[in-house]
Structure formats: C-alpha cells, structure tokens
Amino acid sequence: MAKQPRFMESAFVQSAFMLLAAPAKAVALVRTDRGAMRWAVVGAVLGLLTAIVVWAPAAWLAKAAASATNDRLLLADARGSLWNGSARVILSPGEGSRDASELPQRLGWTLRPAWIDGGPGVRLTLDQSCCIKPAAPVTASFGLDRLTVRLPDATPEQPWIRWPAAWLVGLGTPWNTLAPDGVIAVSAQGFVFEGKGKAIAVSGMAQVELRDFSSRLAQVSPLGSYRMGLVGGGAAPQLILSTIQGPLQLSGQGTLGATRTQFQGEATAAPGSEAALANLLNIIGRRQGARSIISVG
C-alpha cells in the first residue's frame, strides 16, 4: 500500500482534534455567556436598588412616621425625597379623628448616610425658620440590636426647638380640654440615647420647657413655666419635673424604661391662688386635699 503523504496525516489529525475540541469550546462559550448574563442581572438589580434608594420619595418617610406613632404624628403633603424633603407637621389623636393641629410652617429635612462610631448611621438636619435654630445635625448609628441617637447641644437660653404649646391640642384628651398656650422649648447638653436589645442607657441631659403656660380652664394667666428633664448617668434614666415660676406648682420624678415608664408627681396652687386653680387641679390628676396627684406607669 502506498504511503500517505505527511501533510495529509497532519491535516487529518488536526481536523480530528478540531472536531473533538468543538463541543468543549461550545460548552465553554455557553458558560462564559451564562456568567456574563448572571453578572448583568446582578448589576441591573443593584442599579435598580440604588435608584430606588437615591430617588426614594418623601412619602415613604411620612408613612413610616404615621405607622410608628399610630397616626399621631403626620407628615402631610410630603414633597421631595427621603434625603431632601419637606412636609406639613400635624398632631392627631389617631386614625379617623377630625381633631388635629398643625405647626405654622413646613418642616424641611436633610438626611445623609454616614459612618458613625465604627458602624453605619445617618445625619439628620431639620429646617424650620419659625421654630428650629440651625444647629449640628441629629446623628443615629445602628446595628443588629443597637441604636444610638445624639442630639445637638443647645442651652435653655437659646433652645434648639421652639414650638407653640397650642400644637399639643391635636393630641386630643386632655390637651384639647386644657387648650394650652405658651411655648415648648427643647434643649440638650451632651445627650446620647442608646438602646441595646431590651436595655436602654442615657448620658447627658435633654429637657423640655413649657414657658408662660396658660389654659382656658384657669382664671390665672399665665399659670407658670415648667421644665421636664431626662437625665442619664444612673442605673436608669431619670425624669424630673420642676416649676421654674408661677402660681401653679408642678413637681415629680420617675424613670424611663424600654418597656415601661414610671412617674409620680403632684400639682398644687401657690398661696392665694387656690380658688382660681381649683377646677384645673381637678382635671390634672387625682385630688388629695390641696394636691392633685399625677401618676404614670
């Protein structure tokens, strides 16, 4: 038999290898396409999630506030985004109620993600020219079972927030009966709130003052100015109520807990004001002689 030329033998071998390698190359190509497709899908999903977060509407924050407060704090007519928005701030007795009260101006906010205390968090800046002093932002950091909130420092003389006390009427009983007037002033010094699991801890102090308070139920106006402070540093955060000045004398103390808040206080009339304040003392709490007992928890 004649011997086959070398070039034919070589061509035959190469062709055989090409035929044998073709399925493997096809499989590799399919795998590469599948890998590219998988990464394309992942990229599209991440892009969609990023777009949703970046362009999240302010209405989402409004829904969260209403849900967390059982429809008592409403951010109505919310505009803008979750990160830069504004809304009308309304207090309401709850779902279905027609009684509500609104702050005199829209509340604006700026929310920014941040890395705080070695973990993820946010910085919140509030803007309301009538009632909020420009200050450092509120910061919050969080983990799986931890939440830490820091309030900006402000003195009682130059409080962070000044809201009209008449706004409280929107909460319903007993505020709609008292019909309060005056100013609510909020300040803080080194205040940090930390919740971890079911335990809470507070350092520093935050306080709310009710200044030049008056009520339609009293013949005396104003009734006085009062301070409620939340003070940390002990085994449990302390609530302390005191009178700054005025014929209606309020005092009391209690503790703030994760699941239960306890407070015991009393209201009395300054000498010479007993008759004028008798009706108001009957509403504030349970009467025991000249005192009206305030009890929570």
Delimit the domains of the chain by residue range: 47-102, 103-296
Kind and range of the H or E run holding 68:
helix 58-68
Kind and range of the H or E run holding 119:
strand 119-127
pLDDT, tens only, 31-78:
455 555 555 555 555 454 454 555 589 999 999 999 999 999 999 999
Please give the full DSSP string across 210-262, using - where no structure is assigned: EEEEE-TT-SSS--EEEEEEEE-SSSSPEEEEEEEESSEEEEEEEEE-SS-EE
Residue with the larger pLDDT of the pair 52 and 170: 170
Q: How far is CA 158 from the centre of its chain?
A: 23
| 104 pLDDT higher than 90 | yes
pLDDT at 182: 97
pLDDT, tens only, 203-257:
999 999 999 999 988 889 999 999 999 999 777 899 999 999 999 999 999 998 8
Closest to 278 (Cα-Cα) out of 217, 232, 227, 233: 217
- Dist CA 233 CA 192 (whole Å): 11
| Locus of tokens 């829904």 | 63
| 167 pLDDT higher than 80 | yes
